[in-house]
Amino acid sequence: MAQDKSNEKSAASMDTELGRLVVEQGLATQAELQECLDIFRTEKERQAGDGGGRTLAEVLVEKGMITEVQVRRVKKTIEASRGQEIPGYQLLAKLGTGAMATVFKARQLSLDRIVAIKVLPRKLSENADYVRMFYKEGKAAAKLNHPNIVQAIDVGEAGGFHYFVMEYVEGHTLWDELRQGLWDVPPAIAEAPDQAGKAEADQVRRQQVKQLFGEAEALDIVIQIARALEHAHSQGLIHRDVKPKNIMIATEGSVRKAKLADMGLARLTADVEAARLEAGRAFGTPYYISPEQIRGDVDVDFRADIYSLGATLYHLMTGRVPFEAETPVGVMQKHLQEPLIPPDHISTNLSAGIGEVVEVMMAKNRNRRYKSTSDLLVDLEAVAQGNAPLQARKQIDGGVLSGLAHAAGSQELVAAGPRLAGNLMLYIILLAAALAISVLLNLVQRFT
In a domain, 10, yes or no: yes
Tell me, what CATH number does 97's domain have?
3.30.200.20
Over 90: is that where the pLDDT of 146 sits? yes
Q: Across all residues in the chain, what is the average pLDDT? A: 77
Give the three-state DSSP class for 67: coil
The predicted-structure confidence for 152-182, as pLDDT tens digits, reads as follows: 888 888 877 888 898 999 888 999 888 875 4
Hey, how many other C-beta atoms are within 10 angstroms of the C-beta on 245?
19
Q: Which domain holds residue 381?
A: 171-388
Distances (CA, A) of 110 to 88, 105, 158, 167, 213: 7, 16, 17, 15, 41
Over 80: is that where the pLDDT of 105 sits? yes
The average pLDDT across 417-424 equals 44
In a domain, 53, yes or no: yes
Over 80: is that where the pLDDT of 378 sits? yes
Predicted confidence at residue 232, as pLDDT, reads: 93
Give the range with max mean pLDDT: 112-121, 200-209, 362-371: 362-371
Over 70: is that where the pLDDT of 44 sits? yes
The CA distance from 273 to 267, in Å, is 11
Predicted confidence at residue 163, as pLDDT, reads: 87
Residue with the larger pLDDT of the pair 135 and 249 = 249
Q: Are residues 178 and 283 in the same domain?
A: yes
Predicted confidence at residue 387, as pLDDT, reads: 94
Over 50: is that where the pLDDT of 411 sits? no
Q: Are residues 198 and 247 in the same domain?
A: yes
Residue with the larger pLDDT of the pair 337 and 33 = 337
The predicted-structure confidence for 319-360, as pLDDT tens digits, reads as follows: 999 999 989 999 999 999 999 999 999 988 999 999 999 999
Over 70: is that where the pLDDT of 43 sits? yes
Hey, how many other C-beta atoms are within 10 angstroms of the C-beta on 125?
16
DSSP state of 251: E
CB 221 within 8 A of CB 244: no
Tell me, what CATH number does 207's domain have?
1.10.510.10
Q: Are residues 212 and 297 in the same domain?
A: yes
Q: Are residues 45 and 113 in the same domain?
A: no
In a domain, 431, yes or no: yes
Is this model's pTM higher than 0.85 or not? no
| Positions marked catalytic | 241
Over 80: is that where the pLDDT of 391 sits? yes
In a domain, 77, yes or no: no
Residue with the larger pLDDT of the pair 43 and 87 = 87
Residue type, 185: V
CB 84 within 8 A of CB 159: yes
Number of domains the chain contains: 4
The band of 244, judged by pLDDT with boundaries at 50, 70 and 90, is very high
